[in-house]
C-alpha cells in the first residue's frame, strides 16, 4: 500500500492586530521571502508533499502576488478560505453580525475550513512563525509512519518565545511519559524584572519557569481527527458563538481530546529554534536571524531558485 505523504496546513488568515499589519505577507528575506516561505521550504525537505494555505478571500489577490507567485512550479499547493460565515449556523451568523463581529472563530475553525482538502496525515502551524528545519523533519517522519494513530505536538521552551515588546499568548503544556497530559491556554504572558508570569482575567499572577514547554501551534494529526475537531467546534459555537470576540483555539481542542479520552497526543522532541513576530518591533530580530541562517548555508538565497 502506497501511503500519501503528509500535508502541510498553513494558518494564514490572521489580521495581525498586535503587529499592525498582515504578518503573513510581510517580506523578511532579501528576495522578498515571507516567513511562511521558510516553513514551506523546510517542510518539503522534511517529507511533506502538498501545502494547504488557509487565507481570507479579501487577501487572495495579494497573497497570490506576494507569496504564491514565487512558488509556482515548485510547490504543490491549494487554497482554503476562512470567513465569518464559513460553516456557521445561519441563526448564529445573523446574531453576531448584529453585534458587529467581523473576524472568524480561530484556529480550530480555520482547520475545519480546509478539511475537504486533507486526505493524508497533516501538520497544522502558524504562517507567521519560524519553527526550524529539525521541527519539520521530526514531525514529517512521525506523520509518515504507516501505522500512525496518535496526533502529535512539537513543543518549544517558553522563554525564547517571549517578546520584549509586550505580552504573548501560549498554550502551556504538561507532558508525562512522552505524551501531552494538558494544555492550558494562557493569554497574557510576559517577562518583567527577570520574572516570567501570566496575568489572569481576575488580575492574579502565575509565575512560569523559562523552560516550561508551550504550544506554538505545531501540531500533527491523522485524518480521523477531523470529526472530533468538528464536534468540539460545534459545542463551542453553541456555547460561545454569539460572543463578539470568542475564539476556538486548537490547543484548547487538544486539551479537550485528552480530557475526554478521545486520543493521546505524542510530544515530540526536536532540537529546533523558534522565533516569530508578535509585534512590529520583533521584525528586525527575525530579519537578522534569517540573514544569519542564510549566511550559514541553512537556506539558499533566493529561497526559490
**Which among 292, 294, 295, 4 has a CA at the least distance from the CA of 144?**
4
What is the rounded average pLDDT for all residues in the chain? Answer: 93
Q: The domain spanning residue 16 has which CATH number?
A: 3.90.550.10
Rounded to an integer, the average pLDDT of 53-75 is: 93
For 90-129, the pLDDT digits (tens) are 999 999 999 999 999 999 999 999 999 999 999 999 998 9
For 230-275, the pLDDT digits (tens) are 999 999 999 999 999 999 999 999 999 999 999 999 999 998 999 9
- The set of residues, in sequence order, having a beta carbon less than 8 Å from that of 91 and lying 6+ positions away, is none
Residue 21 confidence (pLDDT) above 90: no
Strand residues in 43-178 grouped as ranges (E): 50-55, 76-81, 122-126, 129-130, 152-153, 156-157, 168-176
**Which among 191, 151, 155, 190 has a CA at the least distance from the CA of 171?**
155
pLDDT at residue 24, as a whole number = 76
CB burial readout 96-111, b (16+ within 10 A) else e: beeeebebbbbbbbbb
Distance CA 90, CA 99 (A): 15
Rounded to an integer, the average pLDDT of 42-59 is: 96
- Whether 305 maps to a domain, the answer reads no
- Whether 236 maps to a domain, the answer reads yes
pLDDT at residue 290, as a whole number = 96
pLDDT at residue 17, as a whole number = 54
- Whether 174 maps to a domain, the answer reads yes
**DSSP assignment, residue 84?**
T
pLDDT at residue 22, as a whole number = 67
- Whether 66 maps to a domain, the answer reads yes
pLDDT cut 90: percent of the chain above it: 87
- DSSP symbols for 271-297: ----EE-SSGGGHHHHHHHHHHHHHTT
Distance CA 142, CA 97 (A): 42
Q: Going by DSSP bridges, is the β-strand pair 275-276/76-81 parallel, antiparallel, or unpaired?
A: unpaired
pLDDT at residue 257, as a whole number = 97
Residue 15 confidence (pLDDT) above 80: no
Distance CA 169, CA 187 (A): 4
- Whether 72 maps to a domain, the answer reads yes
For 144-189, the pLDDT digits (tens) are 999 999 999 999 999 999 988 889 999 999 999 999 999 998 999 9
Distance CA 292, CA 295 (A): 5
- DSSP symbols for 91-119: HHHHHHHHTT--S---HHHHHHHTGGG--
- Whether 245 maps to a domain, the answer reads yes
For 217-241, the pLDDT digits (tens) are 999 999 999 999 999 999 999 999 9
pLDDT at residue 23, as a whole number = 74
Residue 18 confidence (pLDDT) above 70: no
- Whether 300 maps to a domain, the answer reads no
Distance CA 2, CA 16 (A): 40
Spatial contact of 287 and 34, defined as CB atoms under 8 Å apart: no
- Whether 49 maps to a domain, the answer reads yes
What number of other Cβ atoms are within 10 A of residue 292's Cβ?
Answer: 10
**Which residues span the domain enclosing 179?**
7-295
Burial, 246: exposed, middle or buried (Cβ in 10 Å; 0-12, 13-18, 19+)? middle
Structural domains in the chain (count): 1
Residue 1 confidence (pLDDT) above 50: no
Amino acid at each position: 500500500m502506497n501511503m500519501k505523504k503528509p500535508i502541510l496546513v498553513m494558518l494564514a488568515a490572521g489580521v495581525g492586530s498586535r503587529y499592525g499589519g498582515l504578518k503573513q505577507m510581510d517580506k523578511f528575506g532579501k528576495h522578498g521571502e515571507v516567513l511562511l516561505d521558510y516553513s514551506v521550504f523546510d517542510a518539503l525537505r522534511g517529507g511533506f508533499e502538498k501545502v494547504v494555505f488557509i487565507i481570507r478571500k479579501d487577501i487572495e489577490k495579494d497573497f497570490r502576488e506576494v507569496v504564491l507567485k514565487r512558488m509556482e512550479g515548485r510547490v504543490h499547493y491549494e487554497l482554503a478560505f476562512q470567513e465569518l460565515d464559513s460553516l456557521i449556523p445561519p441563526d448564529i451568523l445573523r446574531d453576531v453580525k448584529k453585534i458587529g463581529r467581523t473576524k472568524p472563530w480561530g484556529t480550530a475553525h480555520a482547520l475545519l475550513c480546509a478539511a475537504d482538502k486533507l486526505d493524508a496525515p497533516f501538520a497544522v502551524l502558524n504562517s507567521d512563525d519560524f519553527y526550524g528545519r529539525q521541527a519539520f523533519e521530526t514531525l514529517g517522519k512521525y506523520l509518515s509512519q504507516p501505522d500512525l494513530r496518535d496526533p502529535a505536538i512539537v513543543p518549544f521552551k517558553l522563554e525564547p518565545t517571549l517578546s520584549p515588546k509586550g505580552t504573548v499568548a501560549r498554550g502551556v503544556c504538561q507532558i508525562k511519559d512522552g505524551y501531552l497530559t494538558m494544555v492550558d491556554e494562557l493569554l497574557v504572558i510576559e517577562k518583567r524584572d527577570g520574572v516570567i508570569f501570566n496575568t489572569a482575567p481576575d488580575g492574579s499572577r502565575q509565575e512560569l519557569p523559562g523552560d516550561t514547554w508551550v504550544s506554538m501551534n505545531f501540531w500533527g494529526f491523522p485524518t480521523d481527527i477531523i470529526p472530533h475537531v468538528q464536534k468540539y467546534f460545534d459545542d463551542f459555537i453553541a456555547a460561545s458563538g454569539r460572543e463578539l470576540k470568542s475564539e476556538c483555539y486548537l490547543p484548547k481542542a487538544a486539551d479537550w481530546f485528552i480530557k475526554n479520552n478521545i486520543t493521546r497526543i505524542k510530544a515530540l522532541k526536536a532540537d529546533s529554534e523558534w522565533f516569530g513576530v508578535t509585534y512590529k518591533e520583533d521584525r528586525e530580530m527575525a530579519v537578522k536571524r534569517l540573514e544569519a541562517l542564510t549566511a550559514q548555508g541553512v537556506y539558499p538565497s533566493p529561497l526559490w531558485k
